């Protein structure tokens, strides 16, 4: 099993990633921390609790950063709905967020673990940047960070920048410069691993959870004629099935101002950073395997 912490901004695709992390028997989810992103942090915290309790789980949830480190906060409610998880009428969560900030909760959980933690951010990296600034000692206790965000090609916010990195580029820069091994799960693969309409119809028949995921994913308008990009779920698929991804090791820099603000730039020539690398960048994915895995996971959820 993998000891995992998710840092998230649910978010429809975050909810899908959380569903897998909460239910897969190979994942021992220690903590969920929420960050402002798709919607405000009050809402992302509530949504994380909603998904946690939807499955009858009580993984601790801690609320985190309300705004990016420096940039002004801009949400993505136009994509994920005003609540952040539009399309399904969720029961109110019964649990409350724990009485610790995300940074304190991350520090405590990482240091308390007997095994190194796999940290999985699917929102902006503000909580992680604050954690590394305040408690640099945690870095040695993190096996790797599997981060949704960035792109070697075009962005989805601007021509250059993907949403999670665009929202808080300064935090992304701190994370990429931290020395902790990073797997970049960016648009290069998440726009290829589309969930097909056929997959959606299949999961709709798998009881309450399958129906819920069908409803929210159908509501996400990040789709085209080939399917829907459930970006964040790729992090969990990578964790469990890295063989489904092609990766290249690069040094990834983050642009923090100007028209390319929030762009992730890979040093493809290996010249600028003396051949050193800080990330394994996912450049290709087996989309059929992703769909099959998605179906298998949901089929095995206990209703
Ligand atoms: C990322 O942006 C958010 O809207 C999604 O939840 C995902 O994490 C994709 O660019
Ligand atoms: Ca997200």
**DSSP letter string over 229-293?**
E-TTHHHHHHHH-GGGEEEEEE-EEE--SSTTTT-EEE-TTSTTTTT---EEEEEEE-HHHHHHH
Give the separation between CA 100 and CA 222, rounded to whole angstroms: 34
Could you read off the pLDDT of 60-115 as tens digits, one per residue?
A: 999 999 999 999 998 888 888 889 999 999 999 999 999 999 999 999 999 999 99
The answer to whether the complex's ipTM is over 0.95 is yes
With the most atoms of ligand 1 within 8 angstroms of its CB, the residue from 148, 150, 193 to mutate is: 148
With the most atoms of ligand 1 within 8 angstroms of its CB, the residue from 149, 153, 185 to mutate is: 149
Could you read off the pLDDT of 112-143 as tens digits, one per residue?
A: 999 999 999 999 999 999 999 999 999 999 99
Could you read off the pLDDT of 236-280 as tens digits, one per residue?
A: 999 999 999 999 999 999 999 999 999 999 999 999 999 999 999
Residues facing residue 119 across a β-bridge: 5, 145
pLDDT over threshold 70, residue 31:
yes
Which pLDDT belongs to residue 303?
Answer: 60
Q: How many angstroms does the Cα of residue 155 sit away from the middle of ligand 2?
A: 15
pLDDT over threshold 80, residue 221:
no
Q: How many angstroms does the Cα of residue 298 sit away from the middle of ligand 2?
A: 20
pTM of model > 0.80 = yes
Residue whose Cα lies nearest atom 4 of ligand 1: it is 38
Q: Per-residue confidence at 53, pLDDT binned at 50, 70, 90?
A: very high
Atom of ligand 1 nearest to the CA of 76: 4
231 annotated active-site = yes
Q: Is 188 in the pocket of ligand 1 (CB under 6 A)?
A: no
For residue 21, give every residue at least 6 positions away whose Cβ sits within 8 Å of its Cβ, in sequence order, or none: 4, 6, 27, 29, 120, 236
């Amino acid at each position: 099993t993998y000891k995992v912490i998710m840092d998230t901004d649910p978010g429809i695709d975050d909810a899908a990633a959380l569903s897998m992390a909460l239910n897969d028997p190979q994942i021992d989810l220690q903590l969920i921390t929420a960050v402002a992103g798709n919607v405000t942090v009050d809402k992302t915290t509530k949504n994380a609790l909603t998904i946690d309790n939807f499955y009858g789980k009580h993984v601790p949830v801690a609320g985190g950063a309300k705004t990016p480190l420096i940039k002004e906060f801009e949400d993505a409610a136009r994509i994920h709905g005003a609540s952040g998880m539009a399309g399904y009428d969720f029961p109110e969560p019964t649990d409350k967020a724990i009485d610790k900030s995300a940074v304190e909760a991350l520090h405590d959980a990482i240091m308390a673990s007997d095994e190194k933690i796999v940290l999985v951010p699917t929102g902006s990296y503000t909580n992680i940047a604050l954690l590394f600034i305040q408690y640099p000692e945690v870095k040695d206790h993190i096996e790797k960070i599997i981060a949704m965000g960035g792109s070697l090609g075009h962005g989805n916010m601007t021509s250059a920048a993907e949403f999670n990195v665009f929202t808080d580029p300064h935090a992304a820069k701190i994370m990429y410069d931290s020395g902790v091994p990073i797997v970049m799960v960016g648009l290069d693969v998440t726009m290829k691993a589309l969930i097909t309409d056929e997959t959606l119809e299949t999961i709709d028949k798998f009881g309450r959870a399958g129906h819920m995921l069908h409803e929210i994913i159908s509501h996400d308008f990040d789709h085209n004629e080939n399917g829907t990009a459930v970006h964040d779920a790729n992090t969990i698929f990578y964790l469990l099935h890295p063989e489904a991804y092609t990766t290249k090791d690069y040094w990834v820099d983050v642009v923090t101002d100007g028209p390319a603000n929030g762009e992730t730039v890979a040093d493809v020539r290996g010249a600028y950073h003396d051949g050193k690398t800080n990330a394994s960048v996912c450049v290709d994915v087996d989309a059929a395997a992703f769909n099959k895995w998605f179906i298998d996971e949901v089929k095995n959820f206990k209703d």
